[in-house]
Structure 1
Amino acid sequence: MLIAERGGAVRKAVQVVGELLITAGIILVLFVVWEMWWTNVEADSRQGQILKQFAQELPAQTTQPNPSTQTKDFGAPKVGTAPQHGQTIGVIYIPRFGANYTRPLIEGTSADVLDTLGLGHYPSTSMPGALGNFAFAGHRQTHGAVLDNIHTLVPGDRIYVQTKDGYYTYVYRNTEVVLPNRSDVLLPTPTEAGVAPTERVLTITSCNPRFGSQERIIAYSVMESWRPASAGPPVEISKQVAALKTAA
């Protein structure tokens, strides 16, 4: 009788452990679904709201490109002042990431910005159009996956930044992969301490590899031109600009 009771207790313990493992497995699956899918849904929704608000607050301006001014030199770009943490600077368009890639650029790179609001501007770096290093960061996976395709950039690709002042066009140059402690990529002249900047550089940072964070992938671009808002958008993003204004 005692042996039978012990056997029953063992079977009961095995059953309980099995049920706990199944429950833990279900919880893990649900967490992965939440992390890989639902955080993207939430972030996309919030970023859509931010884009609409940005478009609504823009002064009246044309959303149609003016072919006669596409190659015009508008002189030194206007450089805005960085807003408060969590506020919108403008909109980023990267055609290489898709015809509808339109993401808000927000001041700050803490979790409250990057996990929900969009691309985050490093406060220690320059603003769009300024001499030196203008840098922003974003998640590669989860929370909107705003930089999931950063590895697909090809030299010559254009990256457009829209603010209330106008449009800044940067041309992608090269990528490097560094360790997470390499903060020198954010220097006024990236990776060169004490060197005065001579170019208007855009630096984009994200995690590497795509489903990890052991490294950082850094994409560098150089400013090609700028257009005041009154001149209308560059042709390549004109449909997106018009769609954003219409949606607002």
Structure 2
Amino acid sequence: MGVEELITGNERIRRGKKRSARKQRAERPKQGFFRTLIQVLGELLITCGVILLLFVVWELWWTNIEANTAQQQAVSAFAQEFQGPVTPPPADAPPVDFGPPKVMAAPDQASTVFGVVYIPRFGKTYSRPLVEGTAPAQLDTLGLGRYDSTSMPGAVGNFAVAGHRQTHGAVLDAVHTLVPGDKIYVQTNDGYYTYVFRNNQIVMPNRADVLAPVPTQLDAKATERFMTMTSCNPRFGAEERIISYSVLDSWQPASAGPPAEIAAQVAANKKAG
């Protein structure tokens, strides 16, 4: 068989395959408009699902990593500048009355880190920066923000802070686990303030009276030193607010050293810097 015959035969085979393919396409049932629409919608839903999943991963995982790093750096920076011993008084030392708590002036600028909060119920190593302001610029990065309309640590009235529960460091994720009698320690350059937890309360987001000098009692005159922590409720929602109330139990100046329960973490923060 010559080359020309081979070429002719090959062309004949190709034409036959093309005719067969056209015939199969012609015999194939045509896809209706609604079927095509459903397929397109299905693909769009799958794409949206993937995007939503990525957003959830970013919101619940990556924002926590970023915020935790920033908060650890802020705590370390505060600890390096803190003047005072990091060892507690001897266990057999007689109790000392340090008089009324010293109260620092409120920071002039938002985002100023002016203290550290320790809550042993949340873990032995729990220590978070205390920052001025409750805007996203503070809460999304630096942790527990003070409402600027409320008192400073140790003052008569209501020292109130806010913090995220599931994102951006999740500083108050375990707030629902507090039980009456739990200690909350606040460290500033002046010393250490020990608050004792009393109770939680679930309220609607518009309940601004929880920030009153006497929480929830707008017309009452404060005689005690309160600490109020606010966060979203439930844990993965924001329909409500969970409010945690504590009252000052004692205080000690920086020169006296930290309370024994948090001394190890105070020293670790100093060393980390």
Shared fold by TM > 0.5?
A: yes
| 1:1-47 Cα distance to aligned partner (Å, 9 max, x none) | 99968527665544433322221111111001111111111110111
| 1:52-95 Cα distance to aligned partner (Å, 9 max, x none) | 11112223x21000125573210011100111101112000000
Question: Which whole-Å CA distance do the structure 2 matches of 1:7 and 1:207 have between them?
Answer: 50
Q: Which residue of 1 aligns with 2:45?
A: 21
Residue identity in the other structure for 1:171: V
The answer to whether the aligner puts 1:65 opposite 2:88 as a matched pair is yes
The answer to whether the aligner puts 1:211 opposite 2:240 as a matched pair is no
Q: Among residues 146, 163, 171, which one is paired with 1:121 in the alignment?
A: 146
Question: Which whole-Å CA distance do the structure 2 matches of 1:69 and 1:181 have between them?
Answer: 47
Residue identity in the other structure for 1:87: T
Aligned-pair identity in percent equals 63
Deviates more, 1:7-16 or 1:148-157: 7-16
Runs of 4+ aligned residues of structure 1 deviating over 3 Å after TM superposition are 1-6, 8-16, 68-71
**Matched residue pairs, number?**
247
Q: Which residue of 2 aligns with 1:174?
A: 199
Residue identity in the other structure for 2:146: H
SS in 1 for 2:104: coil
Gaps of 5+ in 1: none
| 1:183-211 Cα distance to aligned partner (Å, 9 max, x none) | 01111111111211010010111111111
Q: State TM-score, norm by structure 1.
A: 0.94
Question: Which whole-Å CA distance do the structure 2 matches of 1:191 and 1:58 have between them?
Answer: 35
SS in 2 for 1:7: coil
Q: Which residue of 1 aligns with 2:31?
A: 7
Q: Counterparts in 2 of 1:71-86, with a 5 A limit?
A: 71-83=95-107, 84-86=109-111
- Check the 8 A contact 1:82/1:89 in 2, yes or no: no
| 1:140-196 Cα distance to aligned partner (Å, 9 max, x none) | 111111101111111110000000110000001111111111101111111111211
Residue identity in the other structure for 1:65: P
SS in 1 for 2:265: helix
Question: Which whole-Å CA distance do the structure 2 matches of 1:29 and 1:228 have between them?
Answer: 49
Larger radius of gyration: 2
| C-alpha distance 70-51 of structure 1, shift in aligned 2 (>3 A) | farther
Question: Which whole-Å CA distance do the structure 1 matches of 2:206 and 2:166 have between them?
Answer: 20
Q: Which residue of 1 aligns with 2:258?
A: 233
SS in 2 for 1:28: helix
